[in-house]
Amino acid sequence: MLNRPRILAALLAALLATGLLSACGSTSEPAPAGLTYSTTLGIYTVGVAITPNTPTSTGGAITSYTVSPILPVGLALNGTTGVISGTPTTPTARTAYTVTGSNGSGSTSTAMTLGVPGFAATGSMTVARSAARVALLANGKVLVTGGYDADGFDLASAELYDPATGTFSSTGNMNVRRASFTATLLQSGKVLVAGGYFLPIGSPSAEVFDPATGTFSVTGSMTVERTGHVAALLPNGKVLLAGGRDRAGDSLASAELYDPVTGTFAATGNMTTARGTTVGALLASGKVIVTGGSGPSAEVYDSSTGVFSSTGSMAIARYMHYAVTLLSSGKVLVSGSMFSDPIAELYDPATGLFATTGSMITGREQQAAILLASGRVLEAGGRPIQDIPLASAELYDPTTGAFSSAGNLRTARKEAAAILLQSGAVLVAGGRGDNGTLSSAELYYE
């Protein structure tokens, strides 16, 4: 007699082995095939709730979501729906985020960039200082040197800011106390520090900072004492130093070149006009524009000939405490003045002429002016004509020729040191605030 249970079991095993038993009744979900969000570039405002950023997916239904790295403070990802929502509370650099959607069969990912522009706190300097000079080193750290202390005396101390840790630490002191000097990053990665107030009588000294040792060493002396001068690294590796004032306070027309190879200074052609407390910028052509310090006039230095020649005049006289910023277009933005005039103008090297552009929201001098990675210019702090430190900041957009608000600094400050970091953030450090000289620093995220 046949054993029916055994026969049925054998038949079932054979069907499974040969694949004849279909998986039609299976409840297995396909893996997700794609994921997108309603916003892939989200630039948000502190204190303002964002429009929820919602996902759309293809393939199998997503049952859980994760994001990396952690979202800006105040924003959250719903792990079930994938919606990003909330109100940002802290400025955050533009960052690439990856959102991953998963189910039991697999996962898919998408990228987005989110940022919260504004000023955020960072570590404080080891010493309160105003009118310090800064240089971005090849390793990404920032050298901060000299300036005035809380009692108004010039400083010999220097320190380093490390963006990786957000902290300042002391480094070797300069050999001479300096304020209103220049600090120029050389092609070697070292930094030339030259001139300034309160130098020993008859000692137009200069020195070089070596990041490898963290020390300053004396180099050749300038041909004359000068303070408030222009310094620009030329394409040939030499440094132009021009104008400024001598110990008696007289404006200088003389200029000189520093040669890092020999460690010496040598005179070059004189400016067409003596200029005290002047400002300049290296142009895309390798020439140097020197402005103000003696009314609205300007001139250009040609390193190939060693000669200065007059160029167009500015719309207004600018004597000190204003900013000259080379734009991505090759034009130069001139903003601010000792009389806090809001008029800004552009210099066009192609024509040699200045033309007014949009006016600043707030007239200011002694402000920080930094070209951002986007091509816009940040103008932060400074003072109006009433000599009260400003907390306000604004952005100049070359595409529109207009200024717009960039929010407020965490601390009102004038004569602060500022520099663009490798990350694209701007370090703003020290200066003078409502209650005296500052040691605090902050970062601006665009």
Domain of 94: which CATH number? 2.60.40.10
How many domains does one find in the chain?
1
286-331 pLDDT, tens digit each = 999 999 988 899 999 999 999 999 999 999 998 877 999 999 999 9
Measure Cα distances from 296 to 171, 299, 338 in Å: 40, 10, 13
Provide the pLDDT for residue 200. Answer: 56
Written as six digits, the tokens of 45 are: 């405002």
Q: Is 190 exposed, middle or buried (0-12, 13-18, 19+ CB in 10 A)?
A: buried
Dump the DSSP string for 204-236: --EEEEETTTTEEEEEPPPSS--BS-EEEE-TT
The reply to whether 91 falls in a domain is: yes
The reply to whether 341 falls in a domain is: no
Written as six digits, the tokens of 384 are: 């109006």
The reply to whether 138 falls in a domain is: no
Q: Which H or E run includes 9? A: helix 4-18
Q: What is the DSSP letter of 30?
A: P
> Which residue in this structure is represented by tokens 């026969």?
7
Report the alpha-carbon distance of residue 290 to residue 302 in Å, rounded: 11
Report the alpha-carbon distance of residue 371 to residue 330 in Å, rounded: 12
The reply to whether 206 falls in a domain is: no
The reply to whether 195 falls in a domain is: no
Provide the pLDDT for residue 201. Answer: 54
Q: What is the DSSP letter of 151?
A: T
Whether the full predicted model's pTM is greater than 0.75, yes or no, is: yes
Residue 361 in contact with residue 342, Cβ under 8 Å? Answer: yes
Measure Cα distances from 71 to 39, 86, 133 in Å: 14, 10, 35
Low-confidence ranges of the chain (pLDDT < 70): 1-27, 198-203
The reply to whether 144 falls in a domain is: no
Report the alpha-carbon distance of residue 222 to residue 201 in Å, rounded: 13
191-249 pLDDT, tens digit each = 999 999 865 555 699 999 999 999 999 999 999 999 999 999 999 999 999 999 998 88
> Which residue in this structure is represented by tokens 């027309």?
253
The reply to whether 27 falls in a domain is: no
Q: Which of 237, 242, 223 lies closest to 280, judged by CA?
A: 242
The reply to whether 408 falls in a domain is: no
Written as six digits, the tokens of 281 are: 């910028």
Peptide bond into 204 cis (omega under 30): no
Full domain range(s) for residue 93: 33-116
Report the alpha-carbon distance of residue 369 to residue 348 in Å, rounded: 19
Measure Cα distances from 377 to 323, 342, 403 in Å: 11, 15, 9
